């Protein structure tokens, strides 16, 4: 795995629509800009990218936990995304994100829910909305959210931008009802 750079982005939300958010919530994105070893070629075997995804899941979730305060607050939501440079293909993002990355993130932060994901092709400066769900149960509506991530010089044509987002909160001021996090029965990752 060849990493050009890491980027860490933290949002700390104190106010929403003129109301104080108490306690303030944090969203942390950990981003790796990696060389795409399969750029500009078609190959059937995507295992090199699958293995990169497994390694990046641990690296990026550890970085995001540090950005949230080093584990002083439990992780509540998570999500993942990738933007593939124009020399690659969408399946390269799928190979990094799906078979193993989510499992390796859960090995660091816990959680039973499937990690929501997003993927797209793009050039340098492409932004992506990373979907977020409550990490113990995907159907907790207060945690249906996104974090928009953009890195000005990435991805280049032969690169993939890989993102893990963790939060210590749900949306600010949630009030649409549904399953509450304190009602979750940790089992199937849904409810």
Cα radius of gyration rounded to whole Å, the chain: 16
> Residues 81-140: pLDDT tens digits?
999 999 999 999 999 999 999 999 999 999 999 999 999 999 999 999 999 999 999 999
Task: Report how far residue 106's alpha carbon sits from residue 2's, in angstroms, rounded to the nearest whole number.
Answer: 24
The predicted pLDDT at position 180 comes to: 83
CATH fold, domain 3-183, is 60s Ribosomal Protein L30; Chain: A; (3.30.1330)
pLDDT digits (tens, 9 = 90+) for 127-177: 999 999 999 999 999 999 999 999 999 999 999 999 999 999 999 999 998
Domain-wise residue ranges, the chain: 3-183
- Given a contact cutoff of 8 angstroms between Cβ atoms, the answer to whether 57 and 104 are in contact is yes
Which residue, chain included where needed, has tokens 């995907």?
Answer: 138
pTM assigned to the model: 0.95
């Amino acid at each position: 795995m060849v990493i050009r750079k890491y980027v860490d982005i933290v949002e700390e939300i104190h106010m929403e629509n003129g109301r104080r958010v108490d306690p303030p919530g944090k969203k942390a994105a950990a981003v790796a800009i990696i060389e795409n070893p399969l750029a500009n070629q078609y190959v059937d075997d995507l295992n090199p990218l699958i293995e990169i995804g497994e390694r990046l899941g641990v690296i990026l979730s550890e970085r995001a936990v540090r950005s949230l305060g080093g584990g002083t607050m439990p992780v509540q939501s998570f999500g993942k995304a990738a933007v593939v440079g124009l020399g690659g293909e969408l399946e390269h993002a799928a190979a990094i994100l799906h078979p193993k990355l989510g499992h390796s993130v859960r090995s660091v932060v816990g959680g039973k829910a499937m990690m929501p994901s997003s993927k797209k092709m793009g050039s340098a400066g492409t932004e992506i909305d990373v979907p977020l769900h409550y990490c113990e149960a995907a159907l907790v509506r207060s945690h249906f959210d996104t974090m928009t991530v953009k890195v000005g010089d990435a991805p280049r044509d032969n690169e993939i931008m890989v993102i893990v987002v963790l939060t210590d909160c749900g949306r600010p001021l949630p009030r649409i009802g549904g399953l509450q996090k304190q009602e979750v029965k940790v089992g199937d990752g849904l409810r």
